[in-house]
Amino acid sequence: MNIIMIVLALIGGATLSMQAAIGGKLGSNVGVFRCAFLTFSVGALVTALLIFFFEPRQAVTLLDVPKWQLLGALCGVPYIVIMVLAVQRIGAAVATVAVIFGQLTMSMLIDNFGWLGNEAIHFSATRLGAVVCLGIALYFIYASSKASYPLE
């Protein structure tokens, strides 16, 4: 089952990269915030249909959970807006690796300290090696595209 979850996460990552590339192009044509609005509007509609047809009844509603948990919904807005802007300037690969680097770094802090109600998974040399390798990958991917997208 863990392998299936990893494969699904990889597919999710691939679709995020596609969304960033498409959103970057759309944002340059219609505007960053219109692109973000479209993304969230279509996403809300599709999710509403999924809830209606597939979501089993839950004992707890959105009104019953601790209110800080609802703040997670706001985290998608900066991601979409930043990616629409970034992809236009630095390309999909550099923007995506930078996002993954940020995700990995924050995820390891959340794991290590057990933040946000998660079980603590302590930091290790192996995890540090992963962050360093991803940082190096970000550098090389950026450096290889530097002629196309100079840092301002």
pLDDT in tens, 50-75: 999 999 999 999 999 999 999 888 89
Percentage above 70 pLDDT, the chain: 96
Q: Is residue 73 part of a domain?
A: yes
Q: Where are the beta strands (DSSP E) in 29-115?
A: none
Confidence of residue 148 (pLDDT cuts 50, 70, 90): low
Cα separation of 82 and 77, whole Å? Answer: 8
Q: How far apart are the first and last CA of the chain?
A: 45
Distances (CA, A) of 16 to 4, 32, 62, 102, 121: 18, 17, 26, 15, 26
Looking at residue 152, its pLDDT comes to: 54
pLDDT at 120 over 60: yes
Residue 135 covered by a domain: yes
Average pLDDT, integer, range 119-128: 94
Of 59-63, 92-96, 97-101, 144-148, minimum mean pLDDT range: 144-148
Average pLDDT over residues 31-59: 95
Q: What is the mean pLDDT of residues 72-95?
A: 91
Is residue 57 a part of any domain in this protein? yes
Q: How far is CA 98 from CA 77, 83, 111, 117, 130, in A?
A: 17, 10, 20, 26, 14
**In-domain check, residue 152:** no
Query: Number of folded domains in the chain?
Result: 1
Q: Is the pLDDT of residue 149 over 70?
A: no
Q: Is residue 150 part of a domain?
A: no
State the residue range of the domain holding 127. Answer: 2-145
Quick one: tokens of 91? 């390309």
Would 29 be classed as within a structural domain?
Answer: yes
* Whether the predicted pLDDT of 143 surpasses 60: yes
Contact by Cβ (8 Å): 115, 107 = no
Mean pLDDT of the chain: 91
